Amino acid sequence: MAVDATQPYDDQNVFAKILRGEIPNRTVYEDDFALAFHDINPQAPTHVLVIPKGAYVCWDDFSAKASEAEIAGFVRAVGKVARDLGLVAPGYRLLANTGTDSHQEVPHLHVHLFAGQPLGPMLVR
């Protein structure tokens, strides 16, 4: 079911469980601010999710409430993951679904990083 982006944080969401080590993941990168891991149902040859370690429902929540250090740390982590995976020259796409119209499913902020093939139009027409 799609997430209401204005709801309070639910610490039983699947990415909270991944952060606590209760559910396994295929980690690509981790630091004090972020965890990056492969999506369980990849939509491109490379499909990595990058999440902040803090408890934020979505981009709106994070951009409004996260500290400067958390925001800088998260943004730098996303860039580092793309660089470390060798995606900058061939190119990649970032996507952050927020709320019901975007079909956000997991109520913990995550950025999708897609790459590995020409990615087509930005939105279904």
Residues with catalytic roles: 110
Q: Which of 6, 105, 117, 120 binds ligand 5GP (CB under 6 A)?
A: 105
Q: Per CB under 6 A, does 60 bind ligand 5GP? A: no
Q: Per CB under 6 A, does 93 bind ligand 5GP? A: no
Q: Which of 6, 31, 40, 79 binds ligand 5GP (CB under 6 A)?
A: 40
Q: Per CB under 6 A, does 14 bind ligand 5GP? A: yes
- Rounded CA-CA distance 103/39 in Å is 16
- Rounded CA-CA distance 76/110 in Å is 14
| Residues 20-39, interacting with ligand 5GP (CB under 6 A) | 23, 25, 37-39
Task: State the distance between the two ends of the chain, measured CA to CA, in whole angstroms.
Answer: 23
Q: Residue 108: phi, psi to the nearest 5?
A: -135, 125
Q: Residue 14: phi, psi to the nearest 5?
A: -65, -35
Q: Which of 104, 109, 113, 115 binds ligand 5GP (CB under 6 A)?
A: 104
Residue 96 CB, nearest approach to ligand 5GP (Å)? 7
- Rounded CA-CA distance 56/66 in Å is 8
